[in-house]
Structure formats: structure tokens, C-alpha cells
Structure 1
Amino acid sequence: MRQPVTTARAATPSAPGSVGDVRKANLVRVLSVIAAATEDQRLSRADIAQLSQLTKASVSSLVADLLAAGLVIEIGVHRDGERGRPSVGLILNPTRCVMGMEINVDYIAAGLVDLNGKLLAHEILPRTNHGSTASEVLTALGELSQTLQEAARSQGLMILGGGLAVPGLVQEDHFTVLQAPNLGWVEQNLDVAALLPEPKTRFRLFNEANASALAQQQLMDGQERDFLFISGEVGIGGGLIIDAELFIGPQGHAGELGHVVIEPDGKKCSCGGRGCLETIAGQEAILATAGLGDGTDSASRQERISQLYQALQSGTEVAVNAVAEAGKSLGIAVTSALRLYNVSTVVFGGHFAALEQWLRPAMESSLQDHAPSIADQARLLRSPLGQTGALVGAARSVVGDLLEAPYQLVD
């Protein structure tokens, strides 16, 4: 979601830089003004000069670079008044995009996101990834990526970069999944070149919950700068936004809410610990408690999830109680998170969003029991992102990188 255009302040470097550095900074300034324009605005070079506080000559030169790089295009002709010379509007190039991808336990997905953050195309492929090697999963995802690449070419779209979200701890610099218990992966190096050969800018690796939190941030009110995003699938992840920035901690692993201990003597968790939130409120845990199998029978998880929703809608007691128990434990975890992170807004995604009407009463009751002093200020929201959140967040982050460093594409 683009924000209204505001006047950019002229930069005051703390130390003198080279002419090239100044030009790079001004290139970013001009592109940021164009990117911030609302959909019904067509900024002229004169408009951009005024908003960026750069000279018209500088803006014309910088815009020429952005046009040559294919990041912006000229569109339409408008008059500022009844008289005067017609001016050409400038917008982000709608034919440039980034590919977002996701690996989850039950599916792989890929999508194309344009420079405005809009999802242009989305493909999801059911696949049992637990027990498969990273190489096998990336081969399948590479084939899905190829399908999207061909679709992009047929529509005249150019893919500039890509992002991949996975449900586990990652080391982005080395494209390594350090630990993804629900995939059964430990220290897996990912050959991302097989997913998107020769990206024009960069390829990035994300934790799934962090990527979803970044996507959710685009939907929040401008005043909502702090929130915790909780992603519920087979596992449970958390993405923390503080002062409108993703907080990942010194080692990049902050927000692992699914492995907060709720029952010290509880069940063994896939992480190797015991009594984690995931063992009570994770997708598999809810299904098992609802009497819908433990994952070892012939029915797929999606079939069992459908059975769960049918049971909930018909008021089947064992299913209702299973979700209520998950809501109670989730409320305990949320209570701890609100106190620890000093935020008041929590956004629920994944199966937590789908189960909201059955989860919320127990969750709110738990929050009231354990933290009455903050319960009334807590805002519990449902994310509308569904299964697109992680890949959209990953792609938008790469778009953001590009808009902050457009000189990567300028000769």
C-alpha cells in the first residue's frame, strides 16, 4: 500500500562524499518521491523537483537514468491549468516485478509482485515437504518458478529479483536453513540459483513469519508502528515489528513464539524441547486433540483440516474443546509476549486467522486471567493475507531494497 506523497527533506551528509555517492543518494530521493505518489497522481519533473528539493536540471538527469534502467516510465499528458506547456507524468514501471516464493510443510508457492507491492500472479502447489530433502523441494519449487517465469515473459514482465520464505531459522547471508523442525531440516544450504537464475538485483531468504509480518505491515494504519504477527500452520512463528521495522534480534531469530514453553512437563516438541506452544496450538496438535488422527493415517492434513472445520461448524464438543484449549494456551503466550515486547497489537495469520471465531473467546479469557492490567488495551486482529502473506512479504522486501538502491540497475 503506497503512502501519500510528502515533501522530502534535503539530505545533509555527516561527512563529504564523492560526486558518485551524492548522485546515488539523489537517485534514491527521486525514485522515492515517484514511488510515494498515490495511484491517481502523475508527477511531472517539476513536481518531483519541488518535492525532492532538487534542481529541475538534476531531476531531469536523474529521471533519464531511471528511464534507461526501466524502473520508471512516462505516462499520459496533463496540463497544470488551462494554459501552459503540457507535462509528462512519471510512474513506477508496471512491467517490472519481483518473484516471491514459499516453502511450507504442505505446499510450495510462488507469485509475482510489482514495484508498487501488488500481487500480479500466484501459484500454489500442494506437496508433502516433510521428509523430503532440501534439494528435492527446491527442484519442485524451481519447476513452479519456471512456470511463473514463462507467464511473466508472455505478459511482457521482467523479473528483477526474488525472495524465499521458509518455516524455520535462517542465515540469510549464506542461504542456509539452520533449523526447520517441521520440515526435518538442519543446516541445509539452499541452491537458490536453481530458483531464479541470474536475478537482476538480488535474492533473499526469510523466515516465514517475518516475511508475513512485513506483508501485514503494508496493511496497517500509518499510526500502527508496533505489532506482533503470529503465524499459525503446522508450526507457530512470530514476526515482531517495532517502530515500523522488523526486529529480528542479534542473531536474527527473535519471535520464535511457537517454542515458548507453556507446559514445562508437557509433550515433546519437534524442536527437541518440551511443552512448547506448538505442541498445544499447532495445526497437528489441534487435529490430534480433536480426534482427527495424528498424521500417521492415510488422510492428508488438508482432509483432516476440512473435517475439523465441519466439526466446529456443527458444534462437535471434542473439536470445540480442542480449539478452545489451543486458544487458552495461545492467550498465555500472547500475555507473555505483550509484557516482554511492550506492544499492544497482535495480528493472527494462517490457521489462527481461519479459526478466529472459535479461538478468540478462550484467548481473550486467558489474557484477562493472566494480565488484566493490559487485557483492555490489547488489540487482537485477524490478518486477511491467507496463504499469500509470506511470499508477498518476501517479494516486497526485495522491492524495497531495489527502491533504496536503484543504482544497481543504472549503468
Structure 2
Amino acid sequence: MSLEKNADGGAGRPAPGRVEDVRRGNLVRVLASLAQARTDPDPHPTRADLAARTGLTKASVSSLVAELVDAGLVAESGATRDGERGRPGVGLELSTRRGVVGMEINVDYISAGLLDLGGTLRILRTLERGNRGQSPESVMALLAGLVSDVAAEASAAGIVILGGGLAVPGLVDSASGTVASAPNLHWHAVALQLDRLLPDAPFGTVLHNEANCAALGELWYGHGLDFQDYLFVSGEVGVGGGLVIGSELFAGPHGQAGEVGHMVVEPSGPDCSCGGHGCLETFAGQEAIFSEAGIPAGTASVRLARLGEQLASGDMAAITAVARAGHYLGIAAASTARMMNLSAVVLGGHFTQMGPWIAPAVVQSLADYAPGVVSPARVAVSELGQSAALLGAAGSSLRAVLAAPFSLTPAG
């Protein structure tokens, strides 16, 4: 801790600003330790456990925990044993009475869900609707209604909402809340009125790219527990991607890294919504697969169900369409793995429903174009389904809360 000098040059009292900085940093350390403990055999450490984990004194931990309990971020979970002369201790956990909202706007649906600070998805609401070509104002109004329903249910359960994250399938500027380009929605240079979604939440709502959110959801709640470096490929109407390196999302200097959906996999291929042609999306996007499989027009959920039925029944048109998508997906993954030195690929979004049929084609394509780079055992299918992006958006908000708890404490 730095000390101010008296007029005669001697050391005086600690600089007030520095003392506050230390307190804030220690609040974050205690919360980080509690968050990490969630995956431990004993997920409810005592104050003494936290002191040992953080290197802080027991008195300091007790004071910090008292602040966090008063702020509603930490709760006592019952008596345990702290191992010191058999005296009982009280277990602690991140409060399930505080939460964040994850939201997603996609081409065929909007969704909103509540994630409590313990990492449990408590509420999930989805509304299927066609958003392509719809005005941002109308879509945001519907989303606000869905969020309002989630907030009302949270309030009835005694849960206070602290913030939220919104995932959109396109290039976004999180700082300004602007969608720079979302070709499949037909949105370009759109500033979203995010403050209308959670007007009373102290941490507000932050805009994110859908594929990056899905990659983060996978990192925190899925195969990220097994893989440290991987390409996450999110299949929806379009195809998105996220890069995870060293268990951290790599978004690039402008937040646009990992856009595998618009990687050229066939130079003479068909035109793409991005203005180019031969992109992965034109071979592995939903419309490309449905068209190749001969599935008639309809809602995405109905068409996906029909595709699943045809695959399960051994329909060759469906099997060929999915294998073709997997072939081109493998080409994109091979190039990405070589460029970024990645050793795993995770398939998410609609690819999860095609897993048994598309994964072998991806494995074969990787073996053909990048032999030895990604082993078959490291091509995985996500188990998060359609909720991956929403979980990532909510998880980003949750981590923002844990990184700045001092804004909610009495001295903050």
C-alpha cells in the first residue's frame, strides 16, 4: 500500500485513493474465488477458506464478505466445518437472488432468459418470428415485451436484475450499441435503443456478436471445460464463428475475428448475402441445407424437425445435403485451425441436431485438408443447443458484475 509523505518528507497515512483501490480489488478477488469454487467438490467455502485462497487476512475477508452480503451479491449457504479445531464455519455462495438477463435476436426468433449469479439459467422465453427485413424498432419493441415478462417473473421470485447482454447475428460496436452490419436481418448501421430493455438495471445492457456469445457460452458452460483452444461454429440461418485461444475469446482488434461464415470455401460458388460469393454460409447455412435436402418452405423449427426426421429415416437427399455442408465446414475449419494454431472444433446452433451426420463429414474434411491438426476426438458437438448465445450474453453481463462489485456496495 502506498503512503503519502508529510511536509517534512516522512511517511504519513495511507493515501485515501489507494486504500479505496485496494478495497475494490479485494472485493473482486473474493467474488472471483467464490465463482471459481462453483466447480469444486465443496462449492461453499467458508470465510476461512476464502482467506486461504486469496491470501487475505480472515478479518479482511470477514469485512469484505459483510459488504458483499449487504449488497446482495453473496449469501450464506448453511453451516460447514472449517477444519480449525472443529469449530463450525458458514458456507458462502454467489447469491441466487441476483441475476442478469441474456437476450438474442436472430433471423427466426427472439429470446430472453434470466441467469442467476450462481450460473443457473432460471427462466427462458423464446418467440418464433421472422425478423428478416423487419425494422429494428419493431423487433426491439417485441424483445422489450419479452424481457418485461422475464423481469416480472424474476421479481415474483425475489430476484433483482443487475444487467443484461444482447446477442445479434452481425458485426457490432458494443461501445456505441450499434449493429454495423447484419446481412441476414437486412440491418446496417443501426443504433439500438438498449436502455429501453432494462431501464432500472445498474449495469445496463451491452450489445454483442451472436457467434462470439455462443463461443463464450460454450467456454463457460460446455466443451470449454475440456478444450482451451478451439473454433466454435454456430449454425443458424447464417453461419457464425468464434475463436477461443487459451480459454479466452479472441475477437480481434475490431471485434470481428472468427467470421468463418463468410470465409470463401468455393471461389466459383453462389452469391452470398454479404455481397461476395462462395462463402461457407452458402453451403452450410440453413437455407442451403434445406434446399439441397428438398425440404419445403416453412418456419425454421418445422423445417429442422423435418430434416431430423429425414436423417433418422435414412433419406439420402437429407444425408447428402448435411454431408455436403460438413465437407465445406471442414474446409473452413481446416484453414482456420492452420492459421490460428487451433486443435479443436465445436459445432453449435442447428449443427447440434445434425451431429451424428455432419460431424463425420467435418472429421473427414479436416483429415483431407489439415491432416494431423485436429484429431477426430477433438471435433465435438455442443450440448447447449439454441441457448448458447443467450448464455454467453448473460454470462458476459454476469462477469461485468463480478468485476465491479464496488458499484453496488455501500462504500462504492
One-letter identity of the residue aligned with 1:30:
V
CA distance in structure 2 between the partners assigned to 1:83 and 1:25 by the alignment = 31
**1:90 maps to which residue?**
92
One-letter identity of the residue aligned with 1:393:
G
The answer to whether the 8 A contact 2:101-2:163 is kept is yes
The range that moved more, 221-230 or 174-183, is: 221-230
How far 1:149 sits from its partner (Å)? 0.5
Partner-residue secondary structure (3-state), 1:31: helix
Pair 1:29-2:32 in alignment: no
Query: CA 1:310–1:24 in structure 2 vs 1: closer, same or farther (change >3 Å)?
Result: same
**1:105 maps to which residue?**
107
Query: CA 1:366–1:18 in structure 2 vs 1: closer, same or farther (change >3 Å)?
Result: same
Map residues 311-322 of structure 1 onto 2, 5 A cutoff: 311-322=310-321
Deviations 1:206-244 (A, max 9, x none): 111111111111223656211111000110000111111
CA distance in structure 1 between the partners assigned to 2:358 and 2:41 by the alignment = 38
How far 1:380 sits from its partner (Å)? 0.5
CA distance in structure 1 between the partners assigned to 2:302 and 2:376 by the alignment = 38
The answer to whether the 8 A contact 1:98-1:113 is kept is yes
One-letter identity of the residue aligned with 1:410:
T
The range that moved more, 211-220 or 97-106, is: 211-220
One-letter identity of the residue aligned with 2:161:
I
Question: Which of 110, 114, 117 is the matching residue for 1:115?
Answer: 117
The answer to whether the 8 A contact 2:363-2:376 is kept is no
**1:164 maps to which residue?**
166
Pair 1:208-2:207 in alignment: no
Query: CA 1:314–1:196 in structure 2 vs 1: closer, same or farther (change >3 Å)?
Result: same
Map residues 11-410 of structure 1 onto 2, 5 A cutoff: 18-37=18-37, 38=40, 40-80=42-82, 85-218=87-220, 219-220=222-223, 222=225, 224-293=227-296, 297=297, 299-376=298-375, 379-410=378-409
CA distance in structure 2 between the partners assigned to 1:115 and 1:371 by the alignment = 41
**1:8 maps to which residue?**
none
Partner-residue secondary structure (3-state), 2:113: strand
How far 1:155 sits from its partner (Å)? 0.6
What root-mean-square deviation, in Å, do the aligned CA atoms of Structure 1 and Structure 2 show? 2.1
How far 1:333 sits from its partner (Å)? 0.8
Deviations 1:127-174 (A, max 9, x none): 111111111101001000011011001111111110011111110001
Partner-residue secondary structure (3-state), 1:289: helix
Partner-residue secondary structure (3-state), 1:372: coil
CA distance in structure 2 between the partners assigned to 1:279 and 1:334 by the alignment = 15
The answer to whether the 8 A contact 2:98-2:161 is kept is yes
CA distance in structure 2 between the partners assigned to 1:292 and 1:88 by the alignment = 58
Identity rate, percent: 51
Deviations 1:301-323 (A, max 9, x none): 33333322222222222222221
CA distance in structure 1 between the partners assigned to 2:90 and 2:143 by the alignment = 42
The range that moved more, 199-208 or 232-241, is: 199-208
CA distance in structure 2 between the partners assigned to 1:240 and 1:304 by the alignment = 29
Deviations 1:75-124 (A, max 9, x none): 32344469665433222111111000111111111111011211111111
Partner-residue secondary structure (3-state), 1:18: helix
CA distance in structure 2 between the partners assigned to 1:248 and 1:279 by the alignment = 23
The range that moved more, 324-333 or 355-364, is: 355-364
Deviations 1:169-188 (A, max 9, x none): 11000111111111111111
The answer to whether the 8 A contact 2:110-2:128 is kept is yes
CA distance in structure 2 between the partners assigned to 1:124 and 1:210 by the alignment = 20
Partner-residue secondary structure (3-state), 2:373: helix
Partner-residue secondary structure (3-state), 2:271: coil
Partner-residue secondary structure (3-state), 2:103: strand
Partner-residue secondary structure (3-state), 2:223: coil
CA distance in structure 1 between the partners assigned to 2:88 and 2:311 by the alignment = 62
Query: CA 1:41–1:285 in structure 2 vs 1: closer, same or farther (change >3 Å)?
Result: closer
- TM-score, scaled relative to structure 2: 0.90
CA distance in structure 2 between the partners assigned to 1:408 and 1:78 by the alignment = 30
Structure 1 regions of 5+ residues with no counterpart?
Answer: 1-10
Deviations 1:50-76 (A, max 9, x none): 222112222222122111111112232
Query: CA 1:300–1:88 in structure 2 vs 1: closer, same or farther (change >3 Å)?
Result: closer
The answer to whether the 8 A contact 1:344-1:378 is kept is no
Equivalent residues, number: 394
Partner-residue secondary structure (3-state), 1:135: helix
CA distance in structure 1 between the partners assigned to 2:307 and 2:30 by the alignment = 52
CA distance in structure 2 between the partners assigned to 1:87 and 1:142 by the alignment = 44
CA distance in structure 2 between the partners assigned to 1:245 and 1:166 by the alignment = 20
Partner-residue secondary structure (3-state), 1:173: coil
Query: CA 1:39–1:95 in structure 2 vs 1: closer, same or farther (change >3 Å)?
Result: farther
CA distance in structure 2 between the partners assigned to 1:135 and 1:128 by the alignment = 14
Query: CA 1:369–1:162 in structure 2 vs 1: closer, same or farther (change >3 Å)?
Result: same
CA distance in structure 2 between the partners assigned to 1:396 and 1:167 by the alignment = 17
The answer to whether the 8 A contact 2:348-2:381 is kept is yes
One-letter identity of the residue aligned with 1:406:
P
CA distance in structure 1 between the partners assigned to 2:329 and 2:315 by the alignment = 21
CA distance in structure 2 between the partners assigned to 1:64 and 1:340 by the alignment = 49
